[in-house]
Structure 1
C-alpha cells in the first residue's frame, strides 16, 4: 500500500508541485490584497474621523463666536446708550409740554413720557416751522431739568444767563431727538455686525492654530494619541486655543478697541449721514414705509459706499483695530498686563512676533474684499430685521405675510396688498422714532438677540469663517515651527519665488492671494 502511494506520488509529483505552488501563490496574493484593502479601509476611516473631528471643532468654534459676541455686546451697548440718551430728550420735550399745560391751566399728564405722547399742536408747528437745528449736540450733553424747576428756570436764566447754556426750543429738541433715535439704532446695528465679523476672524484664527497643533502632536505622538474635539474643562484653555495662552489672550483683548473706541468713529460717521438724510424731516411729517426704507438706504450709501467698488474700499480697519502706536495702550487698558503680573509674577513675556503675525493677518482679512462682502450681507440682514420686520409691524402695523407650512398659497395677506400699503399708508415721524428708541435696547441687550440670529443665518458668514479656519495652514505651520516637528511634512521650497528684498516679506502677499483663491472656491461651491 505504501509502495503504491509512493509510486503514485513519483508519477504525479509535477502536477502536485504546480498545484501547491498555485495554491501558495493564490494565498500570498489573497493576503496581499486583503492587507491593501484593510489599509485603504483604515485610511478612509482615518480620513473620515479626521474630517469629522475638523467639522466638530469648526462648529464648536462658531458656537464660541456667538457666545463671545453676546458677552461683549453689552459693553458697546452701554457706551452707545449713554452717549445718545434719546429718552432724556423725550423727557425734556414732555416737561416743556407739561409746563405749557400748567400755564394754560390744562393740568399735567401723570402717564410716563414717551415719544408718541409728545406730538406737536398746530400752533406749535406753525411757530416752529421755519426753525431747524444746526447743532451737533448729543443727548449726553443735554442736562435734563427737574420737574420742580420749570417755574423758576426763566428767572435763574435772567440772573446768570451768561453762565448757562441757552435753552433749546421745542423744534430744536425734536431735531435732536430725530437724529439721536435714528443714529443710535443704526450705530448699534453697525457695531453688532462689526463685532460679529471681528469675533469670527479672531476665534477662527486661533482655532486654526489649535487644530494644527493637535494634528502635529498626533503625527509625532509627542503629547496625545487622539485629537481633542472639544474643551470640556474651563481651565484647559491651552488645548482650545493653542499653547501660547498669554499671546492668545492679548490678541483677544483687541476687541476692546471696537467696544470702547471704535464705536465712537462708527457713531460719528453714522450721525453725519443721518443728519444729511433725515435732517430736513419735521415731527409733523407723514412718512410712508417705502420712503423710510429709501432714507435708510441713503444713510447706508453714505456710510458704506454707493457702489460695490466704494464698499470694498471702505476703511473698516480703523474701527476694529488700533494703530500700531496704540496697541500697547489697548493691552494695558484691557487689564491683561495686570492680570499677568498677579498670576505669573515676573514670568517672561510672550513672543511679540506671534502676536504681530496674528494682528497682521487679522488686518489683511479685514481689508479683504471677502470681509466687505460678508459685512454688507450682515448689515442687509440687520437693517431688514429693523425696518422690514420691527418697523413694518410696530410702526406701520402691516399684517403678517407668514404662510403656513406645506402651503404655497396660504398667505395671510397677499404681497400685492402689502406693497400697496407700503406706498399708501402714512404715519407720523414720532411713531417711527418711538419704535427705533425701543429697538435700540433690543439690538444691544435682547435675549435672545433676534438681530444676531438673523445675521448668523447669512450663509456667506459661515463660508467666510471656514475660509479663515482652513486657509494659510502651510504658512501658519512654518512660522510657528510646527513643520520642523512634523515628521511627515517636508521642508517648504522657496527657491521658485526667490528671497524677499531687505525689509520686505512675501507672507502678506501669500496670505492675501491664498485667502482670495480660497474664498473664490468657497463661493463657487455655494453658488
Structure 2
C-alpha cells in the first residue's frame, strides 16, 4: 500500500480544508475589494464635492470684491458732498466770503479729516456687508441646488424663487448706500471736533503725534453700537427699501409667501452676524487696516525725507489727496485691495458660508 493510499483520508481532509479556505478567502477578498472600491468611490465623490464647494466659495469672494469695487462710487459720493473740502478750499483761496479766514481754516481742518476718516469707515462697512450678503446667498443657493436635485416633483419653479430672493436680499445694500453714511459722518464729525479743535494750520506735528491724534478719533467713534442701523433698516423700515426697489412682476400668493420667508431668514441671519463678536472683530480689523494705510501713505509723502515735524496745513493737503485715493472706483484702489486682503475677512466669510 502506497503512502498516499494509506493517508488518503488525511489528504482529502487537508485538500478540502485548503480549497475551502481558498474559497472563503477569495469570497472575503472579493467582499473586501468591493468595500474598498466603494470606499474609494465615496472618497472620490466627497473630494469632488469639497472641491466644488471650495471653487464656489472662492468665486463668491471674487464676486464680492468686484461688487464692492462697483459700489465704491455710490457709497462714498454722499460723504464727499456732505464734507465739501473743495468748496471750503476755494472760499479760503478766494478770500472773499462772509466767513473769516480763521473760520474757514477751522472748517477746512474738520471737513478734511472727517472726510478721510468717514470714507475709511464707509469702505470698511461696505466690504464687510458685501462679503456677508454674497456668502449668505452663496451658501443658501448651494443648499437649494442640492435640494432641487433630490426633489424634482415640486410644482413651484424654485429657480424663480431663488432668483427673486437673491434680488430682494441684495436690494438691502441700498440702505447702506443711501442712509448708512449719515450715521458715520455724524459720529466722525463729533470725534474729529473734540480731537482737532485746538490745532491751528501752523501747528507742527510729529508723525507720532499725528498717529496719536488719529487713534484718539477712532477711539471716540462707537461704531459697534450703531453698526446695525448703518447696514440695515429696522424691521419697521424694511418696506422703505422694498418700496424703493419694487418687484418687477406680479407673483402668485404661494411664491410670494416663500420668497418673503426666505428673505426674512436671510435678513435675520445678516443682523445676527453683523452684531456677533466675529462680525464686530472683522469690521474693527477693516477699519484698522484702512487707517493704517492712510497713516502709512501720509508718512511716505510727508515725513520720509527726514522731516521730524510737519505743519498741519501740509498734513491736511496730504489727507485730502488720500481721501481721493480711497474713492477710486477701478480695481487699482489700494485701500479696497488692502481691506479685501486681510485674513480675518476670509475666515469670517468661510464661517458664514459653512453655517448650517
TM (normalized to structure 1)? Answer: 0.62
| Equivalent-residue separation in structure 1 for 2:238 and 2:45 (angstroms) | 43
Query: Which whole-Å deviations, capped at 9, do the CAs of 1:64-119 have from their partners, x for residues lacking one?
Result: 110111111210221111111211111111111xxxxxxxxxxxxxxxxxxxxxxx
- Show the counterpart of 1:364: 272
- Show the counterpart of 1:125: none
Residue 19 of structure 1: how far off its partner (Å): 3.1
Matched, 1:395 2:302: yes
3-state SS of 1:315 partner: helix
Matched, 1:212 2:212: no
Alignment of 1:43-54 (within 5 A): 43-54=42-53
RMSD: 2.5
Matched, 1:444 2:327: yes
- Show the counterpart of 2:212: 294
- Show the counterpart of 2:3: none
Residue 9 of structure 1: how far off its partner (Å): 9.1
| Equivalent-residue separation in structure 2 for 1:362 and 1:55 (angstroms) | 22
Alignment of 1:104-503 (within 5 A): 167-218=98-149, 220=150, 222=152, 238=159, 243-304=161-222, 314-333=225-244, 335=245, 337=246, 340-341=247-248, 344-345=249-250, 347-348=252-253, 349-351=256-258, 352-388=260-296, 390-396=297-303, 398=304, 425-447=308-330, 448-471=332-355, 473=356
Alignment check: 8 A CA contact 1:263 1:319 kept: yes
Per mean C-alpha deviation after superposition, the further-off stretch among 20-29 and 200-209 is 20-29
| Equivalent-residue separation in structure 1 for 2:251 and 2:52 (angstroms) | 38
- Show the counterpart of 1:494: none
| Equivalent-residue separation in structure 1 for 2:287 and 2:21 (angstroms) | 73
Residue 25 of structure 1: how far off its partner (Å): 1.1
- Show the counterpart of 1:95: 94
Question: Cα 1:392–1:293, aligned 2, differ >3 Å: closer, same or farther?
Answer: same
Alignment check: 8 A CA contact 1:244 1:350 kept: no
Residue 345 of structure 1: how far off its partner (Å): 4.3
Aligned residues: 345
| Equivalent-residue separation in structure 1 for 2:9 and 2:273 (angstroms) | 82
3-state SS of 1:445 partner: coil
- Show the counterpart of 2:4: none
| Equivalent-residue separation in structure 1 for 2:324 and 2:206 (angstroms) | 24
Alignment check: 8 A CA contact 1:315 1:367 kept: no
Alignment check: 8 A CA contact 2:302 2:318 kept: yes
Query: Which whole-Å deviations, capped at 9, do the CAs of 1:313-358 have from their partners, x for residues lacking one?
Result: 533101111122211111222x2x1xx33xx346553532221111
In our comparison, the structure showing a higher alpha carbon Rg is 1
Alignment check: 8 A CA contact 1:288 1:426 kept: yes
Alignment check: 8 A CA contact 1:246 1:350 kept: no
Per mean C-alpha deviation after superposition, the further-off stretch among 347-356 and 440-449 is 347-356
> For structure 1, which runs of at least 5 residues remain unmatched after alignment?
1-7, 97-149, 151-165, 224-236, 305-310, 400-420, 474-527
Residue 244 of structure 1: how far off its partner (Å): 2.1
Residue 395 of structure 1: how far off its partner (Å): 2.4
| Equivalent-residue separation in structure 2 for 1:446 and 1:357 (angstroms) | 32
Higher RCO (CA-CA < 8 Å; seq separation 6+): 2
Alignment check: 8 A CA contact 1:374 1:461 kept: yes
Q: Which has the higher helix share?
A: 2
